[in-house]
Amino acid sequence: MIGRAGGSRRDVLLIVFSRVFRNFAAGFLNVAVGLYMYTELHYSFPLIGSVFGAASLAAPFLNLVFGLTSDVYGRKKMLVIGNSLLVFSTIMLLLSSSYYLIVLASMLGSFGLAGGTVGGGVGGYVAPMQNALLAEKAPPGERTRYFSLASVAGGVSSSVGAFLTNIPDYRTLFLIGLVISALATVIVLFISESQSRKPAREVFRFRSGRNIAKFSVTGALNGLGQGLVTPYFSVLFKSNYHISNGLIGDIMGAATLVTAFSLYFTPYLTKKLGFVNLISVTRGVSTLLLGLFPFIPGIVLASADYFCFTALRMLSLPAQQSLMMGMVTENERGAATSVNQASRLIPSSAGTFIAGYLFADSFELPFLVSVPVNLFNIVFYNLFFRKDERKVEF
């Protein structure tokens, strides 16, 4: 996939390798932190919701800061700083079990962030820099293939990381997370800096404002729908099916692996069906499976349902990223991604807070609320992008 990149091949590889290491850490941290609060610290669902909700509230702010400043001061520099925050957050988990430090660590590391590890993993605020750098290095007609490559590689590493939750000692897991996240940071130092800069005086001026607004609306609906359920899956498997931490890690790791390999087909399906048709079909079926999840008896069938709706929900992600990069000006790509992420994460944090209380009373209710929100998301993709997708090279 990267053979045609010419002089940018090295940078593409470094971006992908950095994502691989970061997502490897994300694979087990996203599972372990929730289980750590539930099994080791004996937090209630509302208390866990407050931690994950705080992380979701901090994420939009971090996304905006990193996205806007990366277009002005350099995407490589801001990516190094962003990766470093995950290092500091794992240090906090190692140092103390204080509720307030866990909240701060979750805010800096975005633990429990709705969206899963394939879509960005722990610390989703690095996505604006990663995506903008990748889009800059990739030929326009090959962007979807490059985004698919990065997503597949990141997803596979996430799934491998999730299997590490078979290690029973949380401190050991956090220590491994510290080392791996530090490696992800060091790799970025060898990437050549972005040549596309935006004047500081124009940081809040957007030539692509109309298109950014469209992606913000769909992002908001997606964030709310996922925030209601996604951060809680590791805890739900534990509380409802009473299985071991290791088996939970195996299930979530396998689901991430299935999802990662499904992304390999995104470029082909995008060319065959078109972006809007692809997202309508895959997310429509995914939403149906999500609504069925709380009514499925037994861990085997529940796991199969989880595998399917996770893979289908994420299948269109590389095409969506490519479309957005093609619809905004080059020196606003970091800002566009950050605004899109912020618009997704603010409603997501509200959903996560609310779901903590809903789950305390009803296992089914958060899923039933999530279904119509996800369906509206599909409707708006059709309204906003059916004409625009014809103008963009994927």
Is the CB of residue 118 less than 8 Å from the CB of residue 154? yes
Tokens linked to 120:
């960005």
Q: What is the rounded distance in angstroms from the CA atom of residue 190 to the CA atom of residue 194?
A: 12
380 within domain boundaries: yes
369 within domain boundaries: yes
Q: What is the rounded distance in angstroms from the CA atom of residue 376 to the CA atom of residue 219?
A: 11
In order of 70, 89, 94, the CA distances from 245 in angstroms are 38, 22, 19
- CA dihedral 10→13→15→19, nearest 10 degrees, is -160
Does residue 119 surpass a pLDDT of 70?
no
State the residue range of the domain holding 24.
8-192+208-391
Q: What is the rounded distance in angstroms from the CA atom of residue 206 to the CA atom of residue 72?
A: 13
In the chain, the percentage of residues whose pLDDT exceeds 70 is: 91
pLDDT score, position 280: 94
93 within domain boundaries: yes
298 within domain boundaries: yes
383 against 67, higher pLDDT: 383
Q: What is the rounded distance in angstroms from the CA atom of residue 324 to the CA atom of residue 344?
A: 14
Q: Please, which pLDDT band fits residue 94 given cuts at 50, 70 and 90? A: very high
User: In the predicted model, what is the mean pLDDT of the chain?
Assistant: 84
Does residue 2 surpass a pLDDT of 50?
no
198 within domain boundaries: no
Tens digit of pLDDT for each residue in 159-201?
788 788 888 899 999 999 999 999 999 999 998 876 666 555 5
3-state secondary structure of 201: helix
**By CB neighbour count within 10 A (0-12 exposed, 13-18 middle, 19+ buried), where does 297 fall?**
exposed
2 within domain boundaries: no
Does residue 202 surpass a pLDDT of 60?
no
Tens digit of pLDDT for each residue in 326-378?
888 777 777 777 788 788 878 887 898 889 889 888 889 999 999 999 999 99
Q: What is the mean pLDDT of residues 7-15?
A: 80
197 within domain boundaries: no
Which residues, including other chains, have CB under 8 Å from residue 298's CB and lie 6 or more apart?
A: none
3-state secondary structure of 364: coil
Does residue 47 surpass a pLDDT of 80?
yes
Q: What is the total count of domains within the chain?
A: 1
176 within domain boundaries: yes
Q: SS3 for 126-189, per residue?
A: HHHHHHHHHHHHCCHHHHHHHHHHHHHHHHHHHHHHHHHHHCCCHHHHHHHHHHHHHHHHHHHC
Q: Please, which pLDDT band fits residue 323 given cuts at 50, 70 and 90? A: confident
Q: What are phi and psi of 119, to 5 degrees?
A: -80, 0
- Residue 231 is which amino acid? P
Does residue 1 surpass a pLDDT of 80?
no
Q: Give Cα 62 distance to the centre of its chain.
A: 14
Give me the CATH number covering residue 263: 1.20.1250.20
- CA dihedral 143→320→30→35, nearest 10 degrees, is -150
pLDDT score, position 88: 94
Q: How many CB atoms neighbour CB 122 within 10 A?
A: 31
- Residue 378 is which amino acid? I
Which residues, including other chains, have CB under 8 Å from residue 324's CB and lie 6 or more apart?
A: 211, 215, 336, 337, 340
Q: What is the rounded distance in angstroms from the CA atom of residue 100 to the CA atom of residue 147?
A: 37
Q: What is the mean pLDDT of residues 141-156?
A: 80
Q: Please, which pLDDT band fits residue 394 given cuts at 50, 70 and 90? A: low
Q: Give Cα 211 distance to the centre of its chain.
A: 21
Does residue 206 surpass a pLDDT of 90?
no
Residue 85: its H or E element:
helix 75-95
> pTM here?
0.70
pLDDT score, position 134: 85
Tens digit of pLDDT for each residue in 70-81?
877 888 898 999
Tokens linked to 370:
């999530």
* Buried b / exposed e along 280-289 (16+ C-beta atoms within 10 A): bbbbeebbeb
pLDDT score, position 254: 85
Is the CB of residue 290 less than 8 Å from the CB of residue 314? no
